[in-house]
Each structure stands twice: as structure tokens, then as C-alpha cells.
């Protein structure tokens, strides 16, 4: 009959060394993945902030749009433009 002999102490030490090396490689890979995930989360937070800022700017611009019935020129930059009154005839008032 063919019996298998128990592994020797040297074989066990080699197996343990290989196992430790494998565990160390995996730990390094896990650390690299964790750092990549953390960086992606930070980028995601920054992008969400930029999207929120852009949304607020768009809402501010949209709030400045006149009604469709308003015939004045659009001023999306927020500068004050006096309304054009045809009754005024551009004559200065001296009171």
C-alpha cells in the first residue's frame, strides 16, 4: 500500500512562508483599492458640489428671464437696464 507521510517541518515552514507572502500581497492590493475608493469618493463629493453650484447659477439666470409677454431686452448678466418708456421722449425733467 501507498501511504502518504506527514509533511516535514521544513515543508510546513515553506508553506507558511508562501501563505504569509500571499497574505501580504493581498493586504497591499486591498490597501491600494481602499485608497482608490477614497479618492473616487472625494472626487464624487467635489463633482456634486460643482453640479449644485451650476444648478444654482442656472436657476439665478432663469429667475431673471422676463415673462413671455414682456417685450424688454433680456439682461441675463444682472446689469440694471432702465425701462424704455416711449412717453418720455428722452426729455430731462427739471423740477
Spatial neighbors of 61 by CB under 8 A, at least 6 apart, are 76
For residues 40 and 46, give the distance between their C-alpha atoms in angstroms, rounded to a whole number. 10
Residue 5 cell numbers, joined: 507521510
Domain boundaries, the chain: 25-62
What per-residue confidence (pLDDT) applies to 41? 98
Tell me the torsion sign for CA atoms 82, 85, 89, 95: negative
What per-residue confidence (pLDDT) applies to 29? 98
What per-residue confidence (pLDDT) applies to 19? 95
What per-residue confidence (pLDDT) applies to 27? 98
For residues 53 and 44, give the distance between their C-alpha atoms in angstroms, rounded to a whole number. 14
Place of cell 428671464: 65
Place of cell 512562508: 17
Q: 20-54, pLDDT tens digit by residue? A: 999 999 999 999 999 999 999 999 999 999 999 99
What per-residue confidence (pLDDT) applies to 43? 98
Amino acid at each position: 500500500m501507498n501511504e502518504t507521510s506527514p509533511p516535514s517541518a521544513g515543508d510546513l515552514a515553506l508553506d507558511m512562508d508562501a501563505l504569509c507572502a500571499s497574505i501580504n500581497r493581498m493586504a497591499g492590493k486591498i490597501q491600494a483599492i481602499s485608497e482608490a475608493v477614497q479618492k473616487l469618493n472625494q472626487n464624487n463629493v467635489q463633482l456634486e458640489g460643482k453640479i449644485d453650484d451650476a444648478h444654482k447659477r442656472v436657476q439665478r439666470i432663469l429667475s431673471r428671464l422676463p415673462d413671455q409677454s414682456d417685450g424688454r431686452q433680456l439682461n441675463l448678466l444682472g446689469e440694471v437696464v432702465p425701462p424704455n418708456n416711449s412717453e418720455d421722449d428722452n426729455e430731462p425733467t427739471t423740477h
